[in-house]
Amino acid sequence: MRTASTVERLLGAPGQVERLLGAPGQVERLLGAPGQVERLLGAPGQVERLLGAPGQVERLLGAPGQVERLLGAPGQVERRLSAAPRQVERLLGAPGQVERLLGAPGQVERLLGAPGQVERLLGAPGQVERLLGAPGQVERLLGAPGQVERLLGAPGQVERLLGAPGQVERLLGAPGQVERLLGAPGQVERLLGAPGQVERLLGAPGQVERLLGAPGQVERLLGAPGQILCLL
């Protein structure tokens, strides 16, 4: 319905209509295709476009490069945050699920919904960093198959999966304290912190080899109670 302050213009092409809605700068254009509408909302640079598909809306927010797109599915929103290339934020529908493209090729940050759960793709193929929710808990995929680094929360506590099955390296927090699982069941090597001090569990119950630091100083526990071989 037309009012005293509403003006309607037919633009020539079939279905193309321009309506001035009364408020300064408020214009609605029907672009010809069914459902395609463009609205100028009055503020400089503020435009809303209905793209034809149900629920698909594109809004230009005024600042250069700032665009918000509703993609049709409930809760699916894509925001371009500036004129900088590839800075995009996507709301994926589920509560708290957000995907951000950070600008550099392949750099993506995903908020996974649970508090503190974040997944970052760092750009290089296979490089992923996951924040697991608890403070300081981080998991990094380093690119090579099976190579994973986990920060366990306590200062200096790191666990690395080295790629080969069962090969794990743990930094235990104290300087120089490292524990390595070498793959075979029960094979463990521990660096105890002091230079040259190493303890190896050799797999058989009770079999331990200790390097004591001084050149050639080795202590072996051979498994049977009381069996010790010392090389001094």
Residue 171 has pLDDT above 80, yes or no: yes
pLDDT of residue 129: 92
Burial class (CB in 10 A: 0-12, 13-18, 19+), 101: buried
CB 15 within 8 A of CB 32: yes
Residue 83, pLDDT score? 63
The mean per-residue pLDDT over the stretch 45-57 comes to 89
Mean pLDDT of 185-197: 87
Q: What is the CA radius of gyration of the chain?
A: 32
The encoded tokens of residue 231 equal: 């090389």
Question: Region 174-202: what's the mean pLDDT?
Answer: 87
Longest dimension (CA), the chain: 107
Residues 115-143 have pLDDT tens digits of 889 999 988 888 999 988 888 899 998 87
Lowest-pLDDT range, 79-93, 150-164, 172-186? 79-93
The pLDDT-based confidence of 102 (bands split at 50, 70, 90) is confident
Higher-pLDDT residue of 122 and 81 is: 122
- In this predicted structure, which of 34-38, 105-109, 206-210, 228-232 has the lowest mean pLDDT? 228-232
Q: 135 near 153, Cβ under 8 Å?
A: yes
C-alpha–C-alpha distance, residues 218 and 208, integer Å? 10
Q: Is the pLDDT of residue 85 over 70?
A: no
pLDDT tier at 221 (50, 70, 90 boundaries)? confident
Average pLDDT for the chain: 85
Judge whether residue 90 has pLDDT over 90: no
**224 secondary structure, DSSP code:** S
Contacts of 4 (CB under 8 A, 6+ apart): none
User: Residue 32 has what pLDDT?
Assistant: 86
Give pLDDT, residue 213: 83
Provide the pLDDT for residue 1. 56
